Chains A and B, each alone.
Chain A
Amino acid sequence: MPDLKQLHTAIVDGDAKKAVEVTKAALAEGAKPLDLIQGYMIPAMDAVGKLFEEEEYFVPELLLSGRAMRGAFDLIRPLMVAQGVEPTGRVVIGTIQGDLHDIGKNLVAAMLEGAGFEVYDLGADVKPEAFVDTVKTKNCNIVAMSAMLTVTMPKMKTTIEALKAAGLRDKVKVMVGGAPISQAYCDEIGADAFSDTASGAATQARDIMVAHKVGAQFAEKGDKTLAGLAAAGKGAK
């Protein structure tokens, strides 16, 4: 069995090659996928997140760590799927119709992937119908939209209305962000969460999924009140 601390170090250092190499060897030696994830990979990404928050890491270091994490996770994913384990969550993300400014959205998508989400990135200039179709076909938990222009941000509301019309609004949480977007605008259009930073968006998505899963557990036990409270938890209405 390789020294699994190397997996932690490889992810923190953004060394995808090493992360894959250690994971491969560990799985061959019979390491349990969940142990690798919970014992080394998630703590490594937490450490990376802390370094980023403390301005020790810039975005490139953060994303390279995310890439290393994904490299390792790609080896583990088939084993998890075989065991019926779900990803952290499924997100459909895109820059809103009429808007071509997508680098902020790309950052959020990369950070979500690094945090273990299955991300369906529709790119820029995304029509409301495309968000709706992806939620339907990929069973997404979160719709994440970005806008850079004041004249395109109204399309966020249009997209939320399209989700409502398709009967999907209660099944997903809607996150919004971008230079002209504020918490007030998020509230005004009936979105669930707003973040003005890419790392904040990833944290909120994780909070949403935690609340979602806790809510589902209460619902399973028949406690609708607690289920509702959990679903309205931190980062989401």
Chain B
Amino acid sequence: MSKENIFRTLAVNSPKELLFGYAPKPVNCGFDLTIGNGTVFPEVNFTLPTMNVDAATWPEVVAHYEEMATNILKRAVAMKVPGIVLEFEQLPQMTQTPEWGAEITALLERHLKQAYEKYGLKGACRCTPADIRGPAGVKGVKPVMRHGELWEKLNRSFDLCIQAGADLMSIESIGGKEVHDEGLMYGDVRAIVFGMASLSCRDMKWLWSQISEKCEKSGHTVPAGDTACGFANTSMVLAYQKLLPDVVAAVDRAMAGARTLKAVENGAKGPSKDCGYENPIVKAVSGIPISQEGKAATCAHFSHVGNISASMCDLWSNESVQNVRLLSGNAPEAYTELLAYDVRLMNIANSHKQGHIFQSWMVESDQNVSAIGTILTPEAVFAIGKAIVAKDTDYARTIAAGQAAIDIIQASVDKKNLTLGKKELQWLERLHKEFANLPKDENELAEEIVGTLGHLFEPESYGLKVAVAAR
């Protein structure tokens, strides 16, 4: 395994250096595409309509991907986009049968190559196998993360997709989610922190050191990055539905920044994955380019941060859209045009040296609508990033990110910029107290959580040693 590279300083000197299209460490990939070097590109993410995915329907599945790739690239050429990323987010069945995922990867690469050769369209394919380890969510079964048939299939999926020519490799990894989910459901802040800081960070280190090594060996595939989709997106979507406090989701998001950064510390080069709304924190710390989704992702889910999420992006994504017919054409093609218009505006703004003005509108329009918006401004992510790099351990860094978010939200409330309801304010007060009472020693929290939620997870699955007495 390659050596971990812990960030001790930020990659930018001020929040002003965080702007869409620009990343301190651009990435070259695919068909002559450079991401983060002053231009924002669309990243189109697409999926199947309602259908079974099995051996009997596989020819139909392949036909859908042929159709989607053809239509998306046709629209991209018509819209004269400066380049494009196609994201192939695998369905679990496609990782369970790794040859299927590889077949679609090769199909997309073929389309991108043709478009490059015929039209000069720069492009890349991001391949995202499904994290099928576990098994996840099976009642009474503790997930097994580091060995077993499911891990072997996932591992083989990475290998075959790299062989099939994937330009960018990503995953939405789920290690620690079993405890984090329980924490969210019962408002158990200590479980949320432990799931993110102790379990997930360990899993990220273990997983990404291997993904990065495979990619490096290929000489072609770029280890792109992860996302806390299963963590902070769960809390964000629940908060949007008023099922969870917005302030909890915001603090969870900030902590996810420390967690998603682990991929980069273990070899990922970017662009980090679209649904990681914590990515601006990762960009501030590491300098890698990031993909983001927002207002153009309403085909997949709603949020309060549709504009601000574009303010520091390098790729602009629609998250996921089904191949269904609309009046204009099929949905993936329609969303390609939508994204193309969005990035055209951003690139025009930058070309006139007015990117910061456009960015300020994106930020201002969302920052005081929700607590999540409040912690996603360039100033806020810069402050959260600084809090992360000031600490030494993943545990301390994750907590520091959460504490920074609490302080940012409180300051915004005190200045009467952000208005929170009575219940939200009670939760904010509770978060202050809970964070103040978190043990300094990670082992202390580990022993406590093994005692209370040990039925949900196996410490050894995360390489975590917990005192036997506590178990």
Contact = CB atoms under 8 A, between A and B. Distances in A.
Interface residues of B, number: 37
A150 B322 contact: yes
Given A123-B139, A125-B138, A149 B423 contact: no
Interface in A168-187: 179-180
A124 B135 contact: yes
Interface string A98-129: 11101100110010000000000111110000
B388 interface: no
Chain B CB count within 10 A is highest, among A59, A98, A155, for A59
B330 interface: no
Contacts of B187: 58-61, 64
Contacts of B163: none
B184 A103 contact: yes
Interface string A43-67: 0000000000001111111011001
Contacts of B234: 103
Given A99-B92, A150-B49, A153-B50, A125 B135 contact: yes
B418 interface: no
Residue of B134, B141, B186, B423 with most chain A CB atoms under a 10 A cut-off: B186
A77 to B, nearest CB: 20
B186 A123 contact: no
B438 interface: no
Contacts of B137: 95, 100, 102, 106, 123-125
Contacts of B140: 123
29 contacts: A55-B242, A55-B423, A56-B423, A57-B423, A59-B187, A60-B185, A60-B187, A60-B244, A63-B185, A63-B186, A67-B186, A95-B137, A98-B53, A99-B92, A100-B132, A100-B134, A100-B135, A100-B137, A106-B181, A106-B185, A125-B137, A125-B138, A150-B47, A151-B47, A151-B50, A151-B52, A151-B91, A153-B50, A154-B51
Contacts of A61: 187
B245 interface: yes
B322 A100 contact: no
A121 B91 CA distance: 24
Q: Is the interface of A mostly helix, strand, loop or mixed?
A: loop
B238 interface: yes
A112 to B, nearest CB: 14
Contacts of A123: 135, 137-141
Interface in B139-192: 139-141, 174, 181, 184-188
Contact of B243 (A59, A99, A124): A59
Given A58-B242, A58-B243, A110-B185, A150 B50 contact: yes
A67 B187 CA distance: 13
Contacts of A125: 92, 135-138
Interface residues of A, number: 33
B28 interface: no
The 6 A-B residue pairs whose C-beta atoms are closest, nearest first, are A60-B187, A124-B137, A123-B138, A102-B137, A123-B139, A150-B50
Given A124-B137, A151-B50, A100 B92 contact: yes
Contacts of B181: 102-103, 106
Interface in A65-99: 67, 95, 98-99
Contacts of B138: 122-125
Nearest to B136: A100
Given A150-B48, A151-B91, 15 more contacts: A58-B427, A60-B186, A100-B92, A102-B136, A102-B181, A103-B184, A106-B137, A123-B138, A123-B139, A150-B49, A151-B47, A151-B50, A154-B50, A154-B52, A180-B50
Contacts of B47: 150-151
A198 B243 CA distance: 10
A151 B94 CA distance: 12
Interface in B43-98: 47-53, 91-93
Nearest to A125: B135
Interface string B231-259: 00010001000111100000000000000
Interface of B: 47-53, 91-93, 130, 132, 134-141, 174, 181, 184-188, 234, 238, 242-245, 301, 322, 423, 427
Contact of A58 (B92, B132, B245): B245
B139 A121 contact: yes
A100 B378 CA distance: 34
B409 to A, nearest CB: 17
Interface in A133-177: 149-151, 153-155
A114 B130 CA distance: 33
Nearest to A147: B50
Contacts of B93: 98, 151
B403 to A, nearest CB: 20
A58 B141 CA distance: 28
A56 B423 CA distance: 7
Contacts of A198: 243
A153 B185 CA distance: 24
A124 B136 contact: yes
A201 to B, nearest CB: 13
Contact of B238 (A59, A64, A99, A102): A59
Contacts of A149: 91
A58 B185 contact: no
Question: Which of B47, B136, B138, B322 counts the most A-chain CB atoms under 10 A from its CB?
Answer: B138
Contacts of A63: 185-186
